[in-house]
Amino acid sequence: MIEDLVGAGAWDGGAWLDRVEAAVREAVAEAVMPRFRQLAAHEVVEKAGPHDLVTVADREAEELLERSLTALLPGSVLVGEEGVHAEPGRLADVRGAAPVWIVDPVDGTSSFVRGEPDFGCLVALAHRGELLASWTYAPAQVLMATARRGGGARISGAELLRAGHPAGDQDLQVATSHPDYARTGARRVIDGLDVPGVSARPCGSAGLEYLRVATGELDAFVASWESPWDHAAGLLLVAEAGGVNGTVAGEPFRITGGNALPFVTARDADTLRHILGLLTPLAR
Protein backbone atom coordinates (compact mmCIF):
# COMPACT_ATOMS: atom_id res chain seq x y z
CA MET A 1 0.00 0.00 0.00
CA ILE A 2 1.18 3.48 -0.81
CA GLU A 3 0.36 4.70 2.71
CA ASP A 4 2.78 2.16 4.16
CA LEU A 5 5.60 3.44 1.95
CA VAL A 6 4.95 7.06 2.78
CA GLY A 7 4.29 6.63 6.51
CA ALA A 8 1.27 7.77 8.50
CA GLY A 9 2.69 11.17 9.42
CA ALA A 10 3.67 12.17 5.89
CA TRP A 11 0.56 10.63 4.33
CA ASP A 12 -1.69 13.07 6.22
CA GLY A 13 -4.97 11.61 5.04
CA GLY A 14 -3.89 11.63 1.38
CA ALA A 15 -2.59 15.21 1.31
CA TRP A 16 0.78 13.71 0.32
CA LEU A 17 -0.67 12.95 -3.11
CA ASP A 18 -1.54 16.62 -3.51
CA ARG A 19 2.04 17.54 -2.69
CA VAL A 20 3.27 15.25 -5.46
CA GLU A 21 0.87 16.88 -7.92
CA ALA A 22 2.09 20.31 -6.82
CA ALA A 23 5.71 19.21 -7.41
CA VAL A 24 4.84 18.06 -10.94
CA ARG A 25 3.06 21.31 -11.73
CA GLU A 26 5.92 23.39 -10.33
CA ALA A 27 8.62 21.60 -12.31
CA VAL A 28 6.65 22.04 -15.54
CA ALA A 29 5.88 25.68 -14.76
CA GLU A 30 9.55 26.43 -14.11
CA ALA A 31 11.34 24.36 -16.77
CA VAL A 32 8.89 23.55 -19.55
CA MET A 33 6.17 26.10 -20.18
CA PRO A 34 8.43 29.19 -20.36
CA ARG A 35 10.10 27.44 -23.33
CA PHE A 36 6.91 26.36 -25.10
CA ARG A 37 7.10 27.96 -28.56
CA GLN A 38 10.21 29.81 -27.36
CA LEU A 39 12.95 27.21 -27.91
CA ALA A 40 16.17 28.34 -29.53
CA ALA A 41 17.87 26.05 -32.04
CA HIS A 42 20.73 25.24 -29.66
CA GLU A 43 18.25 24.10 -26.99
CA VAL A 44 17.15 21.09 -29.08
CA VAL A 45 19.43 18.08 -29.58
CA GLU A 46 19.00 14.81 -31.50
CA LYS A 47 19.72 11.73 -29.39
CA ALA A 48 19.38 8.79 -31.78
CA GLY A 49 18.07 10.59 -34.85
CA PRO A 50 15.72 13.30 -36.05
CA HIS A 51 12.71 11.66 -34.40
CA ASP A 52 14.39 11.26 -31.00
CA LEU A 53 14.83 14.73 -29.56
CA VAL A 54 15.74 16.16 -26.20
CA THR A 55 15.53 19.78 -25.12
CA VAL A 56 16.86 21.82 -22.27
CA ALA A 57 13.31 21.69 -20.87
CA ASP A 58 13.36 17.87 -20.67
CA ARG A 59 16.64 17.85 -18.77
CA GLU A 60 15.84 20.66 -16.36
CA ALA A 61 12.36 19.35 -15.57
CA GLU A 62 13.72 15.89 -14.80
CA GLU A 63 16.35 17.34 -12.50
CA LEU A 64 13.71 19.36 -10.64
CA LEU A 65 11.45 16.34 -10.31
CA GLU A 66 14.26 14.15 -9.06
CA ARG A 67 15.00 16.59 -6.25
CA SER A 68 11.40 17.22 -5.23
CA LEU A 69 9.98 13.71 -5.55
CA THR A 70 12.78 11.86 -3.77
CA ALA A 71 12.53 14.44 -0.97
CA LEU A 72 8.80 13.69 -0.64
CA LEU A 73 9.59 9.97 -0.28
CA PRO A 74 12.97 9.44 1.42
CA GLY A 75 14.72 6.31 0.20
CA SER A 76 13.07 6.42 -3.20
CA VAL A 77 14.89 6.70 -6.52
CA LEU A 78 13.97 8.20 -9.86
CA VAL A 79 14.17 6.54 -13.26
CA GLY A 80 13.68 9.10 -15.99
CA GLU A 81 14.12 9.07 -19.73
CA GLU A 82 16.98 11.55 -19.73
CA GLY A 83 18.78 10.04 -16.75
CA VAL A 84 18.70 6.59 -18.34
CA HIS A 85 19.91 8.02 -21.64
CA ALA A 86 22.94 9.42 -19.81
CA GLU A 87 23.42 6.38 -17.53
CA PRO A 88 21.71 3.26 -18.96
CA GLY A 89 22.37 1.31 -15.78
CA ARG A 90 19.80 3.39 -13.93
CA LEU A 91 17.02 1.51 -15.70
CA ALA A 92 17.68 -1.45 -13.38
CA ASP A 93 16.24 0.58 -10.50
CA VAL A 94 12.75 -0.17 -11.85
CA ARG A 95 13.38 -3.77 -10.72
CA GLY A 96 15.03 -2.82 -7.43
CA ALA A 97 13.78 -2.93 -3.84
CA ALA A 98 13.45 0.86 -3.41
CA PRO A 99 10.28 2.75 -4.33
CA VAL A 100 10.81 4.24 -7.77
CA TRP A 101 9.50 7.32 -9.49
CA ILE A 102 9.18 6.65 -13.23
CA VAL A 103 9.29 9.94 -15.11
CA ASP A 104 9.05 11.30 -18.61
CA PRO A 105 9.56 15.03 -18.10
CA VAL A 106 8.31 15.96 -21.59
CA ASP A 107 6.44 13.14 -23.27
CA GLY A 108 5.88 14.07 -26.90
CA THR A 109 9.05 16.13 -27.23
CA SER A 110 8.67 16.41 -31.00
CA SER A 111 5.26 18.04 -30.56
CA PHE A 112 6.71 20.33 -27.91
CA VAL A 113 9.51 21.36 -30.26
CA ARG A 114 7.01 22.07 -33.04
CA GLY A 115 4.97 24.25 -30.70
CA GLU A 116 2.01 21.85 -30.68
CA PRO A 117 0.04 21.23 -27.45
CA ASP A 118 0.08 17.39 -27.64
CA PHE A 119 2.75 16.82 -24.98
CA GLY A 120 2.77 16.07 -21.29
CA CYS A 121 4.71 15.28 -18.15
CA LEU A 122 4.30 11.70 -16.91
CA VAL A 123 5.05 10.56 -13.36
CA ALA A 124 4.34 7.19 -11.77
CA LEU A 125 5.26 5.71 -8.40
CA ALA A 126 5.99 1.98 -8.32
CA HIS A 127 7.39 -0.53 -5.86
CA ARG A 128 8.71 -3.99 -6.75
CA GLY A 129 7.10 -3.78 -10.17
CA GLU A 130 3.67 -2.73 -8.91
CA LEU A 131 2.25 0.62 -9.96
CA LEU A 132 0.85 2.57 -7.02
CA ALA A 133 0.01 6.07 -8.27
CA SER A 134 0.36 8.20 -11.37
CA TRP A 135 0.11 11.76 -12.64
CA THR A 136 -0.46 12.63 -16.31
CA TYR A 137 -0.14 16.38 -16.86
CA ALA A 138 -0.87 18.08 -20.19
CA PRO A 139 -0.03 21.70 -19.33
CA ALA A 140 -0.81 23.26 -22.71
CA GLN A 141 -4.26 21.64 -22.54
CA VAL A 142 -4.71 22.46 -18.83
CA LEU A 143 -5.35 18.79 -17.96
CA MET A 144 -4.15 16.81 -14.96
CA ALA A 145 -5.22 13.18 -14.66
CA THR A 146 -4.32 11.14 -11.58
CA ALA A 147 -4.71 7.54 -10.53
CA ARG A 148 -4.18 5.65 -7.31
CA ARG A 149 -4.07 1.87 -7.15
CA GLY A 150 -7.47 0.77 -5.92
CA GLY A 151 -8.62 4.38 -5.66
CA GLY A 152 -9.79 5.13 -9.20
CA ALA A 153 -8.69 7.57 -11.87
CA ARG A 154 -9.63 11.22 -11.95
CA ILE A 155 -9.25 14.24 -14.17
CA SER A 156 -9.17 17.82 -12.95
CA GLY A 157 -9.10 16.54 -9.37
CA ALA A 158 -12.66 15.29 -9.10
CA GLU A 159 -14.27 13.74 -12.15
CA LEU A 160 -13.94 9.94 -12.11
CA LEU A 161 -12.76 8.45 -15.40
CA ARG A 162 -14.60 5.53 -16.96
CA ALA A 163 -13.16 3.98 -20.10
CA GLY A 164 -16.51 2.32 -20.91
CA HIS A 165 -17.21 0.32 -24.04
CA PRO A 166 -16.79 1.27 -27.71
CA ALA A 167 -19.80 2.12 -29.85
CA GLY A 168 -20.87 -1.05 -31.64
CA ASP A 169 -21.80 0.71 -34.87
CA GLN A 170 -18.46 2.45 -35.38
CA ASP A 171 -14.91 1.39 -36.26
CA LEU A 172 -12.61 0.81 -33.33
CA GLN A 173 -10.37 3.85 -32.92
CA VAL A 174 -6.81 2.66 -32.33
CA ALA A 175 -3.52 4.53 -31.92
CA THR A 176 -0.39 2.58 -32.88
CA SER A 177 3.37 2.96 -32.74
CA HIS A 178 4.45 5.69 -35.10
CA PRO A 179 6.07 4.24 -38.26
CA ASP A 180 9.12 6.42 -37.69
CA TYR A 181 9.80 4.54 -34.43
CA ALA A 182 8.53 0.98 -34.91
CA ARG A 183 11.05 -1.67 -35.91
CA THR A 184 10.38 -3.56 -39.13
CA GLY A 185 9.01 -6.67 -37.43
CA ALA A 186 6.72 -4.72 -35.13
CA ARG A 187 5.50 -2.60 -38.02
CA ARG A 188 4.55 -5.76 -39.92
CA VAL A 189 2.54 -7.00 -36.94
CA ILE A 190 0.79 -3.67 -36.45
CA ASP A 191 -0.15 -3.68 -40.12
CA GLY A 192 -2.50 -6.49 -39.11
CA LEU A 193 -4.86 -3.75 -37.93
CA ASP A 194 -5.50 -2.74 -41.54
CA VAL A 195 -8.85 -4.53 -41.59
CA PRO A 196 -12.51 -3.50 -41.78
CA GLY A 197 -13.87 -2.33 -38.45
CA VAL A 198 -10.59 -0.83 -37.22
CA SER A 199 -9.45 2.72 -37.81
CA ALA A 200 -5.77 2.95 -36.88
CA ARG A 201 -3.53 6.01 -36.78
CA PRO A 202 0.03 6.73 -35.59
CA CYS A 203 0.27 7.78 -31.97
CA GLY A 204 1.42 11.12 -30.67
CA SER A 205 2.35 11.51 -27.01
CA ALA A 206 2.04 8.05 -25.48
CA GLY A 207 0.85 9.44 -22.18
CA LEU A 208 -1.94 11.39 -23.82
CA GLU A 209 -3.00 8.35 -25.86
CA TYR A 210 -3.44 6.48 -22.57
CA LEU A 211 -5.49 9.41 -21.30
CA ARG A 212 -7.71 9.15 -24.38
CA VAL A 213 -8.28 5.45 -23.66
CA ALA A 214 -9.11 6.24 -20.03
CA THR A 215 -11.67 8.87 -21.04
CA GLY A 216 -13.22 6.67 -23.74
CA GLU A 217 -12.12 8.88 -26.62
CA LEU A 218 -9.87 6.09 -27.93
CA ASP A 219 -10.65 2.37 -27.94
CA ALA A 220 -7.11 1.00 -27.83
CA PHE A 221 -3.42 1.89 -27.94
CA VAL A 222 -0.90 -0.54 -29.49
CA ALA A 223 2.75 -0.02 -28.55
CA SER A 224 5.85 -1.80 -29.82
CA TRP A 225 8.36 -0.52 -27.25
CA GLU A 226 8.87 -1.03 -23.51
CA SER A 227 10.32 2.24 -22.14
CA PRO A 228 8.65 2.39 -18.70
CA TRP A 229 8.53 6.19 -18.59
CA ASP A 230 6.24 6.19 -21.63
CA HIS A 231 3.83 3.60 -20.23
CA ALA A 232 3.81 3.45 -16.43
CA ALA A 233 1.59 6.44 -15.68
CA GLY A 234 -0.87 5.64 -18.44
CA LEU A 235 -1.18 1.94 -17.64
CA LEU A 236 -2.35 2.68 -14.10
CA LEU A 237 -4.63 5.48 -15.32
CA VAL A 238 -6.39 3.15 -17.76
CA ALA A 239 -6.56 0.28 -15.28
CA GLU A 240 -8.19 2.46 -12.65
CA ALA A 241 -10.66 3.74 -15.28
CA GLY A 242 -11.72 0.14 -15.92
CA GLY A 243 -9.48 -0.66 -18.89
CA VAL A 244 -7.13 -3.59 -19.46
CA ASN A 245 -3.84 -4.44 -21.15
CA GLY A 246 -2.07 -7.48 -22.54
CA THR A 247 0.83 -8.57 -24.71
CA VAL A 248 0.82 -10.85 -27.73
CA ALA A 249 1.98 -13.59 -25.34
CA GLY A 250 -1.31 -13.31 -23.47
CA GLU A 251 0.26 -11.74 -20.39
CA PRO A 252 -0.15 -8.36 -18.69
CA PHE A 253 2.55 -5.83 -19.56
CA ARG A 254 5.34 -5.64 -16.97
CA ILE A 255 7.03 -2.29 -16.34
CA THR A 256 10.13 -4.24 -15.34
CA GLY A 257 10.64 -5.34 -18.96
CA GLY A 258 11.01 -8.60 -20.83
CA ASN A 259 7.62 -8.34 -22.52
CA ALA A 260 6.50 -9.91 -25.79
CA LEU A 261 5.72 -7.05 -28.17
CA PRO A 262 3.64 -5.35 -29.30
CA PHE A 263 1.20 -4.96 -26.43
CA VAL A 264 -2.29 -3.48 -26.28
CA THR A 265 -4.08 -1.26 -23.79
CA ALA A 266 -7.83 -1.17 -24.33
CA ARG A 267 -11.06 0.21 -22.93
CA ASP A 268 -12.46 -3.22 -22.15
CA ALA A 269 -11.67 -6.93 -22.31
CA ASP A 270 -13.60 -7.56 -25.52
CA THR A 271 -11.68 -4.85 -27.36
CA LEU A 272 -8.39 -6.20 -26.01
CA ARG A 273 -9.20 -9.72 -27.22
CA HIS A 274 -10.21 -8.46 -30.64
CA ILE A 275 -7.07 -6.39 -31.21
CA LEU A 276 -4.76 -9.09 -29.84
CA GLY A 277 -6.52 -11.59 -32.07
CA LEU A 278 -5.48 -9.52 -35.10
CA LEU A 279 -1.90 -9.04 -33.92
CA THR A 280 -0.89 -12.31 -32.27
CA PRO A 281 -0.82 -14.57 -35.37
CA LEU A 282 1.53 -12.14 -37.07
CA ALA A 283 3.85 -11.97 -34.06
CA ARG A 284 4.65 -15.70 -34.14
Q: Does 46 carry a binding-site annotation? A: no
Instruction: List CB contacts of 169: < 8 A, sequence separation 6 or more.
Output: none
Can you tell me the distance from the alpha carbon of 239 to that of 31, in angstroms, rounded to the nearest whole number? 30
Q: How far apart are the first and last CA of the chain?
A: 38
Q: Does 169 carry a binding-site annotation? A: no
**Strand order in 159-160's β-sheet?**
77-80, 100-107, 120-127, 130-138, 143-148, 152-155, 159-160
The b/e string for 12-48 (b: 16+ C-beta within 10 A; e otherwise) is eeeebbeebbebbbebbeebbeebbeebeeeebeeee
Q: Does 191 carry a binding-site annotation? A: no
* Residues composing the chain: 284
Q: Does 104 carry a binding-site annotation? A: yes
Angle between helices 206-215 and 228-240 (to 10 degrees): 10
Can you tell me the distance from the alpha carbon of 122 to that of 230, in angstroms, rounded to the nearest whole number? 8
Q: Tell me which DSSP letter residue 98 carries.
A: S
- Does residue 262 have a cis bond before it (omega within 30 degrees)? yes
Instruction: List CB contacts of 94: < 8 A, sequence separation 6 or more.
Output: 79, 100, 102, 126, 129, 228, 255, 256, 257
What is the gyration radius of the CA atoms in the chain, in angstroms? 18
User: What residue type is assigned to position 278 of the chain?
Assistant: L
Q: Which residues are annotated as a binding site?
A: 81, 104, 107, 230
Q: Which residues are annotated as a binding site for Mg(2+)?
A: 81, 104, 107, 230
